[in-house]
Structure formats: structure tokens, C-alpha cells
Amino acid sequence: MRRGGAGWLSSLPKRKAEFIEPMDCAAVSKLPNEWQWIYEIKLDGYRAIGVKSDRGVNLYSRRGKSFNHQYPHIVEALAELPEGTVVDGEIVALDKSGRPNFNLLQN
């Protein structure tokens, strides 16, 4: 099926929005040097999965523990998303220079 057409999303299987354990990174001795690989900057933070379902909003650690009390502003922002949304991301604290600072995040 050609991606990019309006109908390809509706052809995907449906499932209930819930925690999905994220994939872990795999260590490699050499990076692939092929055109189809894309690299991202590694941000030093906490991996988080946000879920907006018919039961409410939940923010989970990568191991499935609740982050709702530690990051209420993120939970509040997730409430604006449509029901059935799952977001996978990194919670990062930035210093005054705009650089990620893990010590700030821990405190």
C-alpha cells in the first residue's frame, strides 16, 4: 500500500490506547553509513509514555511506573490531546543556556 494517501491510516489495525513498553537502544560498534538512516541528538532525561484514553491521562516511565505526580504540567498538557493518543518522548530539563541538564531534572 502506498503511504501518503488519505486512506492508509484507516487501513492500520485498531487498538485501545494503553502503555506500550518502548524499545531499548542497541549498542553498536560502528554506525551505519547508509542514506536511509536518520540520527537524533541524545537528550539526557527520562523516557516517558503519555496515554490519553477513555480512563483519563497517564504518564508512565519506560518501565510502566506512574510519572503523574512528578510531572503534573505534562499530564495537564496531555489532556489537550484527542482520546486514544499515545505519545513516546523524553522529559528533559533545560538550563539557562537552553542545554539539557540531568541534575536539574532530578531536583
Report the pLDDT value the prediction gives residue 41, as an integer from 0 to 100.
72
This prediction has a pTM of 0.72
Q: Which CATH architecture has domain 45-107?
A: 2-Layer Sandwich (3.30)
Q: How far apart are the first and last CA of the chain?
A: 48
Q: Within 10 Å of residue 40's Cβ, how many Cβ atoms?
A: 6
8 Å CB contact between 98 and 40: no
Report the pLDDT value the prediction gives residue 1, as an integer from 0 to 100.
42
Report the pLDDT value the prediction gives residue 2, as an integer from 0 to 100.
47
Report the pLDDT value the prediction gives residue 23, as an integer from 0 to 100.
76
Which residues are marked as active site?
42
Q: What is the DSSP string of 4-24?
A: TBTTTGGGSPP------PPPP
Report the pLDDT value the prediction gives residue 4, as an integer from 0 to 100.
54
Q: Which residues of the chain carry a pLDDT beneath 50?
A: 1-2
